DNA sequence: CTATAAACCTATTGACTTGATAGGAAAATG
DNA sequence: CATTTTCCTATCAAGTCAATAGGTTTATAG
């Protein structure tokens, strides 16, 4: 299951996508809007910065902003950057140690197919698809 | 991610499906074949019995056997009986407590759709599909 | 130039989960 | 009635999760 960390990461990214994506937004503002503790948010932001999903600027007038356009992020890469695992079982992780039974394992192809399914699903949804100000979420009558 | 418990439960069910499904197989035999500690297996077996997936018979000559035909089990129900959670996020569990944001949550429909996807996938595969002696796994030339 | 605002970094905590072990009680049979 | 087997409850160490805390560095505003 996707943990709090991954869900928060998504919310933070959506929040940034809904702001003016050119200026730096301080953590404090996002924290207030989202109702998430500043300190806990910091840790997640750090991960997102490390994976180059967002840019951080220190000092007065600083904050965070997206490093790309919202439509150029997939939900999958955001979740993975936050440390979530899209693989369904441990033996399919890149650094998995062999269980010694893989040649005769009757379940491995099932896990593989589900792994592909999950990957394709979450990599097929963009941040813009989720952000409230994106075109596809505005009712047609308001366009 | 599916944990050891769920993966073991699947292996135990597959093992039982590959034996003569009418007689009771003692835990010791399955444990030996599968290389899983007897004591740990016991706990998993208990869950499977409680959910009526298998029958246990005590005493000499006892053991476990399937309570239905292999083709009448889905992988999904086996995993859930072992305590695995097919829902992708905590807020979609039956006993989930509200986060207070669901009316404006931009991600909830994404999780719902993925939940359906996962459920359909694992409920669409039967135990017979995985067990080695099932018809569909035997090469055509040997039929 | 200096006070301040902000990101950055590292460590720690308590609660919970996980995988596993242990010792025995109850039941059925040969 | 001795043996085999499931059934039951408790316990354990290691790990993960969500969160908190305190301090350091960097950049800007005034």
Residue nearest to nucleotide D20 (CA to C1'): A39
Under the phi-then-psi rule, with left for phi > 0, alpha for psi from -120 to 50, and beta for the rest, what region is B88?
A: alpha
Q: Which of B87, B92, B106 to mutate to test the interface with A (most CBs of A within 10 A)?
A: B106
Is residue A74 one of the residues assigned to a domain?
yes
pLDDT at B135: 47
Of A85, A110, A125, the CB nearest to B1: A85
Mean pLDDT taken over chain A:
91
Confidence of residue A133 (pLDDT cuts 50, 70, 90): low
Is residue B68 one of the residues assigned to a domain?
yes
Nearest Cα of chain B lies from the Cα of A17 at a distance, in angstroms, of 12
Is residue B115 one of the residues assigned to a domain?
no
Spatial distance between the Cα atoms of A129 and A142, rounded to a whole number of angstroms: 18
Domain assignment of residue B50, given as a range: 4-87+126-142
pLDDT digits (tens, 9 = 90+) for A50-84: 999 999 999 999 999 999 999 999 999 999 999 99
Under the phi-then-psi rule, with left for phi > 0, alpha for psi from -120 to 50, and beta for the rest, what region is A70?
A: alpha
Is residue A61 one of the residues assigned to a domain?
yes
Of A2, A114, A137, the CB nearest to B121: A114
Question: Do the strands B54-57 and A63-66 form a parallel or antiparallel pair, or are they unpaired?
Answer: unpaired
Spatial distance between the Cα atoms of B143 and B133, rounded to a whole number of angstroms: 12
* pLDDT for A111 beyond 60: yes
Alpha carbon distance, N-terminus to C-terminus of chain A: 37
Under 8 Å between Cβ of B79 and B2: yes
Is residue A91 one of the residues assigned to a domain?
no
Alpha carbon distance, N-terminus to C-terminus of chain B: 37
Å separating the CA of residue B51 from the C1' of nucleotide C28: 23
Spatial distance between the Cα atoms of A5 and B21, rounded to a whole number of angstroms: 45
Whether residues A131 and B87 touch (CB distance < 8 A) is answered with: no
Q: How many domains does chain B have?
A: 1
What are the 10-residue block averages of pLDDT along chain B, 143 residues in total? 97 94 95 96 98 97 96 98 96 87 92 97 97 56 43
Domain CATH number, residue A59: 1.10.10.10
**63-92 on A, CB < 7 Å from strand C:** 63-64
């Amino acid at each position: 299951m996707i943990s709090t960390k991954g869900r928060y990461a998504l919310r933070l990214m959506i929040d940034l996508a809904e702001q003016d994506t050119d200026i730096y937004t301080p953590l404090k503002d996002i924290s207030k809007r989202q109702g998430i503790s500043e300190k806990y948010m910091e840790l997640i932001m750090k991960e997102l910065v490390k994976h180059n999903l967002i840019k951080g600027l220190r000092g007065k007038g600083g904050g965070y902003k997206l490093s790309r356009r919202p439509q150029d992020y997939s939900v999958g890469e955001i979740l993975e950057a936050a440390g979530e695992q899209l693989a369904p079982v441990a033996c399919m992780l890149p650094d998995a140690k062999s269980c010694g039974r893989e040649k005769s394992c009757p379940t491995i192809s099932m896990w593989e197919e589900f792994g592909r399914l999950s990957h394709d699903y979450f990599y097929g949804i963009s941040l813009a698809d989720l952000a409230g100000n994106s075109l596809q979420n505005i009712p047609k009558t308001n366009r």
